Amino acid sequence: MTDRVVSTLHGADLELGEGPAYDPAADIAWWFDVVGKKLFEHRFSNGETMAHDLPRMASVMARIDGGRQLLAMEDGLYIRDITTGRLTLHAPLEAGNPATRSNDGRTHPSGALWIGTMGRNAEKHAGAIYWHNGRETRTLFKQVTIPNAICFSPDGTTGYFADSAKGLLMRVDLDPLTGLPTGEPAVFFDNRGGNGGLDGAVVDRNGILWNARWGAGSVDAYAPDGQRIETIAFPATQTSCPAFCGNNGENMIVTSAWQGQTADQRRTDTQAGNTFLVSGGFHGMFDPVFRIAD
């Protein structure tokens, strides 16, 4: 096992750090403070981090090309011009339901996006998980409370997701050409009764799934058979989501949060809300570009 070295990439004290992503062509990492309505940009070339204000909450970013990104926001999917920051609505997402917002999501190898929604106060069964291929949106799973851990096997034949409120990490067979399910979901890992909750996840080139465990201050690795094979500890309790970065995906970005903590918990959990960098020989994959239908 390779030694993992955890360091602070950016100490921004985010209320709800989420949705890290990496652009390998530009060597730039992106992530959100969902509640703070900010998009962070970190340039590894010079170590500079910039915060971009957003008009509404956002949680997921997908690359389109060198000049555009797709952002999942409260009421829809928006195309963002990277140079100007201009946002253009691409497709609505529960736009008629002000009680929900976007949460976890990721791009399938086919170029389609899976994106989850949830109640703004995590109301039971208020959300869903959707599939969007640039032209149409389909509902995949209904009555989801907190959608998380959306990620895919390297060949696109398996999808993973969780409802954090249930404590079950699920797997489902997919059509690799579309990213649509071809069967019924089955339990991949049962975390009920375990420490912490299942949050964001990503899969590496070897098919190992890396999942942030909210409340346990860790990122856990699961083999393709569902066995937990490694745990990386972090100096923040509420780790929220990982993403690979570096020339060959050898490093990992991990966001965290202080949302919901009491004043006493915040005084103890001094690095809550920081964004971390883990170095140590990962075999990471980068998310595919979102294939927009121009």
Q: Judge whether 39 and 20 are in contact, CB under 8 Å.
A: no
Q: Can you tell me the distance from the alpha carbon of 59 to that of 226, in angstroms, rounded to the nearest whole number?
A: 27
pLDDT digits (tens, 9 = 90+) for 88-129: 999 999 998 999 999 999 999 999 999 999 999 999 999 999
Mean pLDDT computed over 51-56: 97
Q: Which two tokens stand for residue 211?
A: 């999942």
Q: Judge whether 171 and 203 are in contact, CB under 8 Å.
A: no
pLDDT band of residue 294 (cuts 50, 70, 90) is low
**Which secondary-structure segment (H or E) carries 201?**
strand 197-203
34, pLDDT greater than 60? yes
Percent of the chain scored above 70 by pLDDT? 99
- Output the pTM of the full model: 0.97
What residues form DSSP beta bridges with 78? 71, 89
Amino acid at 135: R
pLDDT for res 2: 67
pLDDT for res 132: 98
Please, what is the average pLDDT of the chain? 96
Q: Can you tell me the distance from the alpha carbon of 225 to that of 121, in angstroms, rounded to the nearest whole number?
A: 34
Q: In the chain, what are the domains?
A: 5-279 (2.120.10.30)
Mean pLDDT computed over 189-210: 97
287 is catalytic: no
Q: Can you tell me the distance from the alpha carbon of 65 to that of 74, in angstroms, rounded to the nearest whole number?
A: 23
Q: Judge whether 140 and 186 are in contact, CB under 8 Å.
A: no
Q: Can you tell me the distance from the alpha carbon of 1 to that of 280, in angstroms, rounded to the nearest whole number?
A: 10
What residues form DSSP beta bridges with 115? 105, 130
pLDDT band of residue 163 (cuts 50, 70, 90) is very high
Active-site residue, selected from the candidate residues 23, 199, 204, 220: 199
Neighbouring C-beta atoms of residue 194, cutoff 10 Å: 14
Q: Which two tokens stand for residue 104?
A: 């976890």
Q: Which two tokens stand for residue 263?
A: 């004043």
Give the DSSP letter of residue 290: P
1, pLDDT greater than 90? no
Give the DSSP letter of residue 179: -
pLDDT for res 12: 78
Length of the chain: 294
293, pLDDT greater than 80? no
Q: Can you tell me the distance from the alpha carbon of 171 to that of 225, in angstroms, rounded to the nearest whole number?
A: 11
Q: Can you tell me the distance from the alpha carbon of 54 to that of 101, in angstroms, rounded to the nearest whole number?
A: 14
**Which secondary-structure segment (H or E) carries 268?**
helix 263-268
Q: Judge whether 174 and 154 are in contact, CB under 8 Å.
A: no
Q: Can you tell me the distance from the alpha carbon of 226 to that of 229, in angstroms, rounded to the nearest whole number?
A: 9
pLDDT for res 145: 97
